[in-house]
A and B are shown apart, each in its own frame.
Chain A
C-alpha cells in the first residue's frame, strides 16, 4: 500500500464552521485542485504538493536561508534587506531546510500529511461539540483529487454515523464519484460557467465532465445536492449565463443554488506563494446584482441563497 491510500495532504482544519453544510461542522481543506480559477480564494489549495509560503515582511535578511537552500533559489536583496526566492529555481523540496533555519517565521509551509487515524481522532474530538445536526465537510482544493484518502475518510465517518458533506469542482472521473457517493450525505457542487470555452479560459478545463457528473449525481435520492456559484462580475454574471445555469439546474431536476459574491480575501496569499493576483480588487458584485441573479433563478423556480444567508 502506498502512502496516498493512508495519508492525505491537508492545508487547514477548521472547527465550528457554520456555513458549509447543516449545523456546526468541522471543515477539512484538502490540497490539490484540477481547476485553476483566477479568483480562487484558497490559492494554496491548488497545488497537490506542500508549498513554501514566504512572509516577506517578517524577513530580516540574515542569509540563513540563503545558506540552507541546496538549489540556490534564495538570494538577498541588499537594498531592501530581505530574501528573494526565485520560484523558477526553487524545487519545492520536502526537507524545507530554508524554513527550518529561519528564526523569524518568514518561511512556512502550506500542507501537511495526516494519516486517516490522525484525522479521525481530530474529527471524533470535534464531534463532541457540534451538537445535533453537525458533521464533517471536506473542501479544498477539491477533495476528489485525493480520491483514495477522501474515500476512506468519508467511509469511516459514515460508519461512525457522522454527517458528511463535500465541496467539489466536479471535475473528476465518474468512477471516482461512484466510489464515494454511498458515504456522502451532502454535496456542494460548484458551477463556474455554462459555456465550455469561457470555462476553460477562466479555470483551465472544459466543463463537459463537470456537467455530466452533475447530471448523474442529481439523480441520486439519498444525497442533498447544493449547487454553488461564485458570481464574478464580467465573467459569469451575464443574463445569458445565469439563465443557462438556472435551466441546467432545472433540467437535472434540482432546485437549489447558493451564489457567493466574489471577494478578494485570499489575494494576499498569492504573494506568499510567489504568485500574482490578477484581479482588480475593486471588482465585487453589488447587492443589487446578486438580487437580480436571484430573481432569474426564482423565475426558474430555483431557490437561490445569497452568501451566508442560507437555510442550513
Chain B
C-alpha cells in the first residue's frame, strides 16, 4: 500500500481531527457576512487587482543624500537622508479615498532598505547573495514557501521582475535597485554588524545555528523595530509646527552644554519632520491638481476637501475626527517608511481618537454613517501596507502580514472600562470591511460591558479571525513585573496594548484638552519588542541532543558533544537545557551587536520623537530615550512538540522500555517509514504517505503517537509542560540585552512553525519529518486533543501565563458549533472560561475545513477569504502551502450531543 495515507492510520491510533460529530454533509459557509460602503467597495476591488509593487524612489533619494553627507554626524546624516526621500516621494491619491498617503505612489507599494541589509533581494547568482547564504543568513529563505495567489508576485511576468520572492519590480527600475544595493555593500548595518559579530568567541556556532535554521533569522538586520505600540500624542496635541517650535527651543537650551547628543537629536527631529511636512504638502498640491481637472462635481469637492485638510495638518493640530485620523495615518506611514518594521501597532485607537469623535458627534458635524466610511477607508489604508524584507522574514515568519494591531477595550487610567462607542464602530467596520489590517484584539477584562463583548463575538463569528481575545489582567501582571525596575505603576500598566502579533507592550497616559474637557489617552512608551533572540525551533534543539550536537539534516556539527550518555530521562532534559542555553547565549550576544550597529548607523528619528519620553529628554530610542527599555526577548516555536516528544521519550524509552533510544533514532532517520513531506507535497500529518517499507517502523510509530499528549488534562505530560514553561521563562532573565536589561520569554509562533518544522526530522511524538509544528504555543498538536476544549484549557493553564510576554492558543471551530444568537453567547462563555483560568490569549478560525480545501484547489474563487494563522489574519491565497495544510489539519470543534 505505497499510497496509504497517514489518515488511514489515524483512526487506529485514536487521533481525532474532529471533536464532536459532523452534523451536515454540506459545507458550511459564513453565518455573518457584511458589506462595506460603495465607496470602499470600489477601493477594495481595486486592491484585489493590485500586486505587491516595488518603488525605488525612497531608497534612491535616501542613498543619494546619505552619500553626499559623508562624514557628518550620523543622526543628522540619517535625518537629512529621510527628509530628502520624503520630499521626493511622488504623491498619489486614488479616487474615492477619504484618507490619503501611502508608503509609495503604488496602491500596494513598498521598497527595500539596503542600508539595513542588501543581500536577500539580489539574484541568487550575485556574490552578495552567495556570501550571505554561506554565513547562514539566508537559510530560512531557502526553506520557506510562499503562497502563489493574491497580490504576491512569486514569478517574473513580462516586464515585471519578482524580487525577494514576493514583490514585483518594473524592469526599468532594476538598474537602480542594483546600484542602490551595491552602494551599501560594506556600509549596511548587516555588513558592518557582521564584522563585529565575528568577535564573539562562539561566532562559529552562531553561523551553524543559522545554517541549521535552529533560529529563523537575525533580529538586527531584518526588522529592527516594530512589535511595539506607536504614540500619536505629540502631533495630535501640538501639530507639526508645535513640535518644531519645541525642538528649536530645546536646541537653544542644550547647545554647548554637556550631553551634547541632545543637540543633534533635536536638530535631527526638526530635519526629519520638515521632510514629513513637505511630503504632506505635496499631497495637498496633488489634491489641488486633481480637483482642477476633475469633471465629477462630487469627486472634485472631495479632492478640494483633502487638499484643505492636508494643508491644515501640515502645521497644526487636528480640528476634527477626520483631521485626527489623517494625522495618525500620516505619522504611522512615516514611521514605516523610516525603518524596516513589522508590527507597528496603532494600539488603542478608539480610546485615542474618542475626544475628537465625541466632539464632532456632539456638535452634529459627524454621524455614525460618516464615521463608518472613514473607518473603512482607514482599514483599506492599513491593508495596503506591505513590508519589504527577505522571503524568510516576510514569508516564513510574517506570511506577508504587517501586524498593525488595533486594541479594543481594556481599562482606563482610573481602572474603569475603557470601551467606548467609537470602538463599537471600529468593530462594525472590521465586519463590513473585512480585510487583514488593522487586525483587532480585544483586551478582555471582567469590567468590560457585555455589549462590546458580544459585538466582538459577532465579529469573531464572521470568520475573519479577529478580534483576538487577550487577558487584560494577565498582561498587566506581566507589564508590572517586567517593567518594575523602570518605575512601572499600576495606573501606567493599564495603558498597555498589543504591539504586533501578541507582544504585550508598555504604554503611558497623556492628557488632551478639548472644549474644556480633559481626556487621558493611551499610547506606546516602550521600544521595539521581539528583538533579541529570534524564533528558536525547540524540537530542533531536542533533535541535536539525540544526535549529540550534529544536525542530521545538513550533516553539520552545530555544538560540541554534550557529554551525556542519555541513559536516563533526566540526562535528556539536562542535555536539552544545556544546548538551549548555549543557543540563547550565542544568539543574544550576536544580536546585541547587530542592534548596536543598527542604532549607530540608522538611528530612528521619526519613531523616536513620537515615543515618550525621547522628545523631552533629547535622546533617540537607541539611546534609551523611551520610557521603557526592557523589551528584548527570546522567542520560541514548537514548544508543544518538544513537550510531547519528551513525554514519549520518558514513557516509551525510559520508563516502560518499549524500545531503545537507538531504535527510536533509527525510526527517525527513516521517518517512521513515510515519504518526506516535500515529496508528498503536503505538510500536515494527516496527508503524509507511507513508503513500501513502512511496516518496519509501524510499531514504534504507533507507540510514539500513543504516548501522552499535551492538551488532554493529562498530568503526565502537563507536568513536563509546566516544567518546561517555568524553566524557560526564568532562564531568559539570565541573559542581558544591549540596553543592559534582562531578556524575557515570548511565545508566539507567527508562521515559523512551517519553515522550522521543515528543517526538523521526525520527532519522538510521532510527528513526521518536514511537517509543520503545532501552531502557536498553547495549541495542541492537530488531532491530539481528544478530550475537548475544557481539557485543553486545563492543560494550557497549568502554569502562570504572566511569566511570559504572551502565550497563544488557536482554536478552529466549525460554524455550526456557534450558530445563531445562542451560539454567540456560548462562544463568549467559552472565551470567558479560558480567561478566568488565566489563559493569556485565544483566537478562532470559525470555518469549515472543507471550504478551505476547496479554496486550496480553487484559489481564484476565494480571493477575499481570510483565515487566522497565529496572531494575525491573512488572505488564504497569500499563505504558503505548509501553513495552509496546517490550518486545515487543526482539530475542528463541532457541536456535540
Contacts and interface: CB of A to CB of B under 8 A. Distances in A.
Interface string A112-150: 000000000000100110001000000000000000000
B449 A161 contact: no
Interface residues of A, number: 9
Contacts of B821: 158, 161, 185
Contacts of B434: none
Contact of A124 (B449, B457, B458): B449
A128 B454 CA distance: 12
Contacts of A158: 821
B825 interface: yes
Contacts of A160: 450-451, 454
Contacts of B824: 161
Given A158-B821, A161-B821, A161-B824, A127 B829 contact: no
A161 to B, nearest CB: 4
Nearest to B824: A161
A97 B821 CA distance: 47
A163 B449 CA distance: 16
Interface string B442-463: 0000000111001001100000
A132 B826 CA distance: 8
B829 A161 contact: no
Given A161-B457, A161-B821, A161-B824, A132 B450 contact: no
Given A158-B821, A161-B457, A161-B824, A128 B829 contact: no
B454 A132 contact: no
Contacts of A161: 450, 454, 457-458, 821, 824-825
Contacts of B825: 132, 161, 163
Given A158-B821, A161-B821, A161-B825, A128 B457 contact: no
A127 B450 CA distance: 7
A124 B451 CA distance: 7
Nearest to A127: B450
A178 to B, nearest CB: 19
Nearest to B820: A222
Interface in A142-194: 158, 160-161, 163, 185
Nearest to A222: B820
A127 B451 CA distance: 9
B819 to A, nearest CB: 12
A21 B460 CA distance: 28
Contact of A132 (B449, B451, B457, B829): B829
B448 to A, nearest CB: 9
Nearest to A161: B454
Contacts of B451: 124, 127, 160
Contacts of A124: 449-451
A124 B424 CA distance: 14
Interface in B794-838: 821, 824-825, 829
Contacts of B454: 160-161
A216 to B, nearest CB: 22
Contacts of B450: 124, 127-128, 160-161
A163 B825 CA distance: 9
A185 B824 CA distance: 14
Contacts of B829: 132
Interface in B413-462: 449-451, 454, 457-458
A128 B821 CA distance: 18
Nearest to A130: B450
A127 B449 CA distance: 8
Interface string A3-34: 00000000000000000000000000000000
Contacts of A132: 825, 829
A161 B451 CA distance: 8
A165 to B, nearest CB: 14
Nearest to B826: A132
Interface string A86-119: 0000000000000000000000000000000000
Nearest to B448: A128
Nearest to A126: B450
Nearest to B821: A161
A128 B453 CA distance: 11
A132 B821 CA distance: 13
A124 B449 CA distance: 8
Interface string A179-217: 000000100000000000000000000000000000000
Nearest to A163: B825
Contacts of A127: 449-451
Nearest to A135: B825
Contacts of A128: 449-450
- Which of A132, A158, A161, A163 has most chain B Cβ within 10 Å? A161
Contacts of B449: 124, 127-128
B720 to A, nearest CB: 34
A132 B825 CA distance: 8
Interface in B449-479: 449-451, 454, 457-458
- Which of B451, B824, B829 has most chain A Cβ within 10 Å? B451
Interface in B168-210: none
Nearest to B457: A161
A128 B450 CA distance: 6
Nearest to A120: B451
Nearest to B829: A132
Nearest to B447: A128
B749 to A, nearest CB: 32
- Which of B449, B458, B821, B824 has most chain A Cβ within 10 Å? B821
Interface in A208-257: none
B835 to A, nearest CB: 14
A18 B352 CA distance: 40
A158 B821 CA distance: 8
B258 to A, nearest CB: 56
A163 B828 CA distance: 14
A197 B821 CA distance: 42
Contacts of B457: 161
- Which of B450, B457, B458 has most chain A Cβ within 10 Å? B450
A116 to B, nearest CB: 15
B518 to A, nearest CB: 24
A163 B820 CA distance: 12
A127 B448 CA distance: 11
A177 to B, nearest CB: 20
A163 B822 CA distance: 8
B821 to A, nearest CB: 6
Contacts of A163: 825
A54 B450 CA distance: 40
A161 B827 CA distance: 12
A62 to B, nearest CB: 47
A132 B450 CA distance: 11
Contacts of B458: 161
A158 B825 CA distance: 12
B836 to A, nearest CB: 12
A161 B821 CA distance: 6
- Which of A124, A158, A160 has most chain B Cβ within 10 Å? A160
A57 B458 CA distance: 54
B832 to A, nearest CB: 8
A185 B825 CA distance: 13
A93 B824 CA distance: 47
A157 to B, nearest CB: 10
A160 to B, nearest CB: 5
A161 B459 CA distance: 13
Interface of B: 449-451, 454, 457-458, 821, 824-825, 829
Given A161-B454, A163-B825, A185-B821, 13 more contacts: A124-B451, A127-B449, A127-B450, A128-B449, A128-B450, A132-B825, A132-B829, A158-B821, A160-B450, A161-B450, A161-B457, A161-B821, A161-B825
23 contacts: A124-B449, A124-B450, A124-B451, A127-B449, A127-B450, A127-B451, A128-B449, A128-B450, A132-B825, A132-B829, A158-B821, A160-B450, A160-B451, A160-B454, A161-B450, A161-B454, A161-B457, A161-B458, A161-B821, A161-B824, A161-B825, A163-B825, A185-B821
**Which 5 interchain pairs have the tightest Cβ spacing?**
A161-B454, A127-B450, A132-B829, A160-B451, A161-B824
